[in-house]
């Protein structure tokens, strides 16, 4: 079991309140991702769950037990950091088994757990190597394996892919997703990368300035954002925001995603000038400076040739256009 309940958790560093009353329920076996910009409080919240930071007030409950003042080692959690934190003088096998050895686990049981974890993570050929002999992706897999052998109630990941290059991030993200399916374990994952959040999570928690803006599944947040912040944070390229007054709207802001705009050379809602075109192979991002709507990003699937300075007309899909009030919340 690995359920988690966070009840009105607040955290202040001196006069600065970093967490401003967080309430969250995580069910057993869920993969939950905390996402938000730098400084939003996501890593602090993870450290409070782990016991590495004490909350100023509120409760952390794991499997029905209040662990708010329980030391980290007794919370039944295992944490994977962005820095691999491996001992350079130990082999992969000994790095993975060190925590169990220190806890007095029998050697046969340690070997059994390392065997299972190394098989899951394709680490068998590297068990006798030291960290310096491994690539960045392999080192991160060792750090994950060290967590797996502990058989924790909760896995906590603090931006584990941020030190990897783009190709390794994709591969390791896939491995983490497969690991979750195999273990059926509860995982809490922190990232500032909304693509990681969208591809990994059962449930996303969007944080901003120490508060939860919205909780929901990836497509729920994409299709039904609660406010302008969530709408702008989820989706890549990000949503276009237009001053409602320029469009004769009563809404303060109108939002439309780049993929929900179409372009035409002869007519459309908003006349614009092509500023730049990004040819990405599978799709094309056009940047249009429109008379009414300002600078817009338009995502076109496939190849679309448009010269800078040429005229195009952009038209939004009315069924997929969002309107936001002065408070930033979506107008339904």
Instruction: Quick: pLDDT tens for 292-306.
Output: 899 999 999 999 999
What would the pLDDT profile of 2-56 be if each residue is shown by its tens digit?
A: 899 999 999 999 999 999 999 999 999 999 999 999 999 999 999 999 999 999 9
What is the model's pLDDT at position 10?
A: 97
Q: What single string gives the DSSP state of each residue in 73-122?
A: GGTTEEEE-SS----TTS-HHHHHHHHHHHTT--HHHHHHHHHHHHHHTT
Please report which confidence band the pLDDT of residue 194 belongs to, taking 50, 70 and 90 as the band edges: confident
Span 53-79, average pLDDT:
93
What percent of the chain has pLDDT above 90? 81
Average pLDDT, the chain: 93
φ/ψ bin of 265: left (φ > 0), alpha (ψ from -120 to 50), beta (otherwise): alpha
Cis peptide before 237 (omega within 30 of 0): yes
Domains of the chain: 4-230 (3.40.50.300), 238-324 (2.40.50.140)
CA–centroid distance for 225 within its chain: 16
* pTM to 2 decimal places: 0.91
Span 196-220, average pLDDT:
96
What is the model's pLDDT at position 164?
A: 81
């Amino acid at each position: 079991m690995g359920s988690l309940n966070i009840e009105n958790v607040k955290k202040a560093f001196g006069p600065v309140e970093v967490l401003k009353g967080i309430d969250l329920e995580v069910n057993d076996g869920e993969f939950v991702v905390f996402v938000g910009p730098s400084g939003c409080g996501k890593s602090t919240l993870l450290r409070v769950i782990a016991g590495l930071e004490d909350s100023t007030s509120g409760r952390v409950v794991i499997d029905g037990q209040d662990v708010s003042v329980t030391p980290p080692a007794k919370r039944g959690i295992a944490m994977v950091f962005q820095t691999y934190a491996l001992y350079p003088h130990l082999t992969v096998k000994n790095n993975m088994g060190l925590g169990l050895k220190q806890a007095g686990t029998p050697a046969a049981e340690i070997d059994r757990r390392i065997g299972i974890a190394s098989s899951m993570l394709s680490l068998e050929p590297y068990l006798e190597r030291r960290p310096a002999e491994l690539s960045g992706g392999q080192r991160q897999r060792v750090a994950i394996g060290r967590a797996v052998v502990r058989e924790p109630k909760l896995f906590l990941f603090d931006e584990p892919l941020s030190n990897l290059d783009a190709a390794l991030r994709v591969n390791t993200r896939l491995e983490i997703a497969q690991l979750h399916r195999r273990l059926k374990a509860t995982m809490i994952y922190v990232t500032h990368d909304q693509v990681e959040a969208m591809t990994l999570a059962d449930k996303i928690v969007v944080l901003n300035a120490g508060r939860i803006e919205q909780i929901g599944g990836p497509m729920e947040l994409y299709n039904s954002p609660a406010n302008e912040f969530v709408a702008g944070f989820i989706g890549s390229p990000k949503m276009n925001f237009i001053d409602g007054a320029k469009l004769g709207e009563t809404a303060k802001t109108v939002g439309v995603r780049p993929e929900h705009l179409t372009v035409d050379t002869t007519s459309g809602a908003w006349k614009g000038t092509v500023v730049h075109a990004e040819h990405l192979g599978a799709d094309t991002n056009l940047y249009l400076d429109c008379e009414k709507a300002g600078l817009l990003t338009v995502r076109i699937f496939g190849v679309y040739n448009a010269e800078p300075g040429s005229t195009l007309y952009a038209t939004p899909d009315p069924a997929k256009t969002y309107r936001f009030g002065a408070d930033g919340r979506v107008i339904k």
